[in-house]
Structure 1
Amino acid sequence: MRHSLRFKVALVFSALTIVLLVAQALGVKTFAEAQEEKLITALIRDDIANVMQGYRANPALLPPFDARLNGYVSAADQPLAALPGSIRNLSEGTHEIVLDDREIHVAVVPFEARRLYRVYNFSVYEKQFRHVIDMLMAGTGIFALLTIWLAYGLSGLLVRQVAGLARQVKALRLGGSTPINPGKYDEVELVGLVEAFNDYHRRMADMIEREKEFTCNVSHELRTPLTTIKTSCELLEQDAAQGTKSRARIQQIERAADNMRELVNALLLLAREESTQNVEPVRLARMIETALAPFADRLANKGVETVIDMDRNVHVAANRSALAIVLSNLADNASRHTDRGHLRFSYADGWLRIEDTGSGISAHALPHVFDRFYQASPEQTAGHGVGIGLAIVKKICDRYGWPVELESEPGRGTRVSLRLPAAGPGSASPDALSAVS
Structure 2
Amino acid sequence: MAHGLPRKIRIAFIVQMAMASLAILLAFYVVALLFKYSFVQATLQEEARHYWSLYEASPAQPPPNTHVVRGYLVERGYSTLNLPPALRGLGPGFHELDAEGQMVWVDQREAGTLYLVFLRDQAMRTAVWFAVIPAVAALFTIYGATWLTYRASSRLVSPVAWLARHVSRWDPRQPDVAALAPDRLPADIQGEARQLARALHALGQRVEAHVARERDFTRDASHELRTPLTVIRVASDIALAEAAEPRVVRSLQRIQRAARDMEAVVDAFLILARGEDVEPQSEWFDVCEVVYGEAENARSMLGDKPVELAVEGRGQPRLFAPPRGLHVVLGNLLRNAGSYTDRGQVRVVVEDGAVEVSDTGIGMSADELAHAFEPFYRGDRPQGPGLGLPIVRRLCDRFGWTVQLVSSVDAGTTATVRFPDARPPD
Superposed displacement of residue 149, structure 1: 11
- For residues 270-300 of structure 1, the C-alpha deviation after alignment (integer angstroms, 9 at most, x for no partner) is 2233652212222111112222333213446
Change in Cα spacing, 1:15 to 1:272, as seen in structure 2 (3 Å) is same
- Structure 1 unaligned residues grouped into runs of 5+: 429-437
Q: Which amino acid aligns with 2:181?
A: N
Partner of 1:171: 170
SS in 2 for 1:96: strand
Contact 1:104 / 1:123 at 8 angstroms: preserved in 2? yes
Contact 1:281 / 1:317 at 8 angstroms: preserved in 2? yes
Change in Cα spacing, 1:58 to 1:139, as seen in structure 2 (3 Å) is closer
- For residues 1-38 of structure 1, the C-alpha deviation after alignment (integer angstroms, 9 at most, x for no partner) is x9443432222121122112222332344345435532
Superposed displacement of residue 160, structure 1: 4.9
Q: 1-side partners of 2:196 and 2:32: how far apart?
A: 51
Q: 2-side partners of 1:151 and 1:320: how far apart?
A: 64
- For residues 164-200 of structure 1, the C-alpha deviation after alignment (integer angstroms, 9 at most, x for no partner) is 4334322343534543234225253332222111112
Partner of 1:108: 107
Partner of 1:38: 39
Structure-to-structure mapping, 1:50-69, within 5 angstroms: 50=51, 53-54=54-55, 57-59=58-60, 63-65=73-75
Q: 2-side partners of 1:420 and 1:149: how far apart?
A: 60
> Normalized against structure 1, the TM-score is what?
0.77
Contact 2:286 / 2:318 at 8 angstroms: preserved in 1? yes
SS in 1 for 2:366: coil
Superposed displacement of residue 261, structure 1: 0.9
Q: Which amino acid aligns with 2:267?
A: N
Change in Cα spacing, 1:173 to 1:210, as seen in structure 2 (3 Å) is closer
- For residues 202-248 of structure 1, the C-alpha deviation after alignment (integer angstroms, 9 at most, x for no partner) is 22233333334444444444322211111111212322x52344333
Change in Cα spacing, 1:263 to 1:159, as seen in structure 2 (3 Å) is same
Partner of 1:208: 211
- For residues 116-138 of structure 1, the C-alpha deviation after alignment (integer angstroms, 9 at most, x for no partner) is 34242434445667899899999
Aligned length, in residue pairs: 407
Structure-to-structure mapping, 1:110-125, within 5 angstroms: 110=109, 113-114=110-111, 116-125=113-122
1:392 aligned onto 2:391:
yes
Partner of 1:433: none
Q: 2-side partners of 1:417 and 1:144: how far apart?
A: 68
Partner of 1:273: 275
SS in 2 for 1:395: helix
Which one is further off, 311-320 or 362-371?
311-320
Change in Cα spacing, 1:369 to 1:161, as seen in structure 2 (3 Å) is same
Q: 2-side partners of 1:108 and 1:202: how far apart?
A: 89
Partner of 2:14: 14
| Match 1:229 to one of 232, 236, 244 | 232
Superposed displacement of residue 54, structure 1: 4.7
- Structure 2 unaligned residues grouped into runs of 5+: 63-71
Q: 2-side partners of 1:350 and 1:424: how far apart?
A: 8
Q: Which amino acid aligns with 2:39?
A: K
Structure-to-structure mapping, 1:15-414, within 5 angstroms: 15-35=15-35, 37-38=38-39, 41-42=42-43, 44-46=45-47, 48-50=49-51, 53-54=54-55, 57-59=58-60, 63-65=73-75, 78-84=84-90, 87=91, 95-98=93-96, 104-108=103-107, 110=109, 113-114=110-111, 116-125=113-122, 160-169=158-167, 170-173=169-172, 175-179=174-178, 180-182=180-182, 183-184=185-186, 186-239=189-242, 241-273=243-275, 276-299=279-302, 301-311=304-314, 313-348=316-351, 350-378=353-381, 382=382, 384-414=383-413
Contact 1:72 / 1:116 at 8 angstroms: preserved in 2? no
Which one is further off, 359-368 or 307-316?
307-316
Matched-pair identity in %: 26
> Normalized against structure 2, the TM-score is what?
0.78
Q: Which amino acid aligns with 1:166?
A: A
Superposed displacement of residue 161, structure 1: 4.2
Q: 1-side partners of 2:52 and 2:79: how far apart?
A: 12
Q: Which amino acid aligns with 1:340?
A: R
Superposed displacement of residue 319, structure 1: 2.0
Q: 1-side partners of 2:28 and 2:87: how far apart?
A: 35
Contact 2:48 / 2:107 at 8 angstroms: preserved in 1? no
Change in Cα spacing, 1:294 to 1:107, as seen in structure 2 (3 Å) is same
Change in Cα spacing, 1:152 to 1:347, as seen in structure 2 (3 Å) is farther
Contact 1:304 / 1:341 at 8 angstroms: preserved in 2? yes
Change in Cα spacing, 1:306 to 1:130, as seen in structure 2 (3 Å) is farther
Partner of 1:434: none
Superposed displacement of residue 52, structure 1: 5.3
Q: 2-side partners of 1:188 and 1:81: how far apart?
A: 75
Q: 1-side partners of 2:366 and 2:21: how far apart?
A: 62
Change in Cα spacing, 1:96 to 1:400, as seen in structure 2 (3 Å) is farther
